[in-house]
């Protein structure tokens, strides 16, 4: 337990010490929020879909979470290059515990980013549907963060350097984000709606939207069920591949 805690603490310390990273990773979601929110707002309203900011904010929270989590998971590559990974891998701590400590650290950071985006979106006119549900939404953010940090860990365990990073961004993170219904409604039976069903981020965002804006596509129970199962699967896969790392 103490070892998991110190690994978690390390991730947090690194995050708070790198102010540029903190602000840098907020810039993108804010840009999306402002450009899309105010740009498409009138169109969205004209199409009879209501207030676009209310719709968009949970999607942007999901966005900042997926980016931050996958980056945090992939920090393993840095640690490998700077040699620190060795230090943790030879310690008398099971690889599973190391992976859990790191993953919870990364997920905590991603959740904090999500909360910051939520707070900033209040300035853009977003109003949560019910304040009582906000803590629940934060729990969902954490679950979603765990999922994608574990996914990042899994990927990073199989990469030796940062060269594959751009590919991961373009072929994984971006599609996961754009196909999740973060920025548009998934209703109807088009191809997109089918594709989105295979995107774990869809369920996280749908659940957040349900809790924060009372808009939903699937039922809450179904969202939670799918999200929990996928999170467990990726935690399993992440720790499996992490335990196979050789240096």
> Which residue ranges make up the site for another protein (CB under 8 A)?
2-3, 6, 10, 13-14, 17-18, 79, 82-84, 86-94, 160-161, 246-247
Question: 134-157 and 200-213 are packed helices; what angle lies between their axes, rounded to 10 degrees?
Answer: 160
Closest approach of Cβ 46 to another protein, in Å?
49
Question: 2-17 and 52-82 are packed helices; what angle lies between their axes, rounded to 10 degrees?
Answer: 110
Nearer to another protein, 135 or 160 (CB): 160
- Select from 145, 169, 213 the least CA-distant residue to 28: 169
Nearer to another protein, 2 or 46 (CB): 2
For the beta carbon of residue 185, count every other beta carbon within 10 angstroms: 14
Q: What is the DSSP string of 97-139?
A: HHHHHHHHHHHHHHHHHHHHHHHHHHHTT---S-GGGHHHHHH
Closest approach of Cβ 83 to another protein, in Å?
4
Closest approach of Cβ 239 to another protein, in Å?
14
Q: Are 239 and 99 in contact (CB under 8 A)?
A: yes
Q: Are 62 and 181 in contact (CB under 8 A)?
A: no
Between the alpha carbon of residue 198 and those of residues 78, 155, 180, 246, the distances in Å are 30, 19, 9, 32
Nearer to another protein, 159 or 179 (CB): 159
Nearer to another protein, 6 or 169 (CB): 6
Closest approach of Cβ 1 to another protein, in Å?
11
Nearer to another protein, 96 or 222 (CB): 96
Give burial (CB, 10 Å; 0-12/13-18/19+) of 26.
middle
Closest approach of Cβ 102 to another protein, in Å?
12
Closest approach of Cβ 86 to another protein, in Å?
5
Nearer to another protein, 54 or 153 (CB): 153
């Amino acid at each position: 337990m103490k070892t998991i805690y110190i690994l978690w603490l390390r991730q947090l310390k690194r995050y708070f010490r790198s102010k540029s990273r903190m602000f840098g990773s907020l810039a993108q979601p804010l840009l999306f929020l402002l450009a899309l929110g105010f740009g498409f707002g009138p169109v969205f309203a004209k199409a009879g879909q209501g207030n676009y900011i209310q719709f968009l904010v949970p999607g942007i929270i999901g966005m900042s979470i997926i980016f931050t989590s996958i980056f945090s998971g992939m920090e393993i590559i840095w640690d490998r290059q700077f040699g620190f990974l060795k230090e943790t891998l030879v310690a008398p701590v099971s690889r599973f515990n190391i992976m859990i400590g790191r993953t919870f650290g990364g997920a905590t950071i991603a959740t904090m980013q999500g909360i910051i985006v939520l707070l900033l979106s209040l300035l853009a006119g977003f109003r949560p549907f019910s304040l009582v549900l906000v803590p629940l939404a934060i729990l969902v953010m954490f679950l979603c963060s765990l999922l994608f940090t574990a996914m990042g860990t899994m990927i990073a365990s199989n990469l030796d350097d940062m060269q594959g990073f751009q590919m991961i961004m373009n072929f994984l993170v971006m599609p996961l984000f754009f196909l999740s219904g973060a920025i548009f409604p998934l209703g109807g039976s088009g191809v997109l709606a089918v594709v989105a069903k295979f995107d774990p981020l869809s369920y996280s965002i749908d659940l957040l939207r349900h809790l924060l804006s009372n808009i939903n596509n699937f039922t809450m129970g179904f969202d939670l069920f799918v999200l929990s199962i996928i999170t467990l699967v990726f935690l399993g896969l992440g720790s499996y591949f992490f335990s196979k790392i050789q240096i």
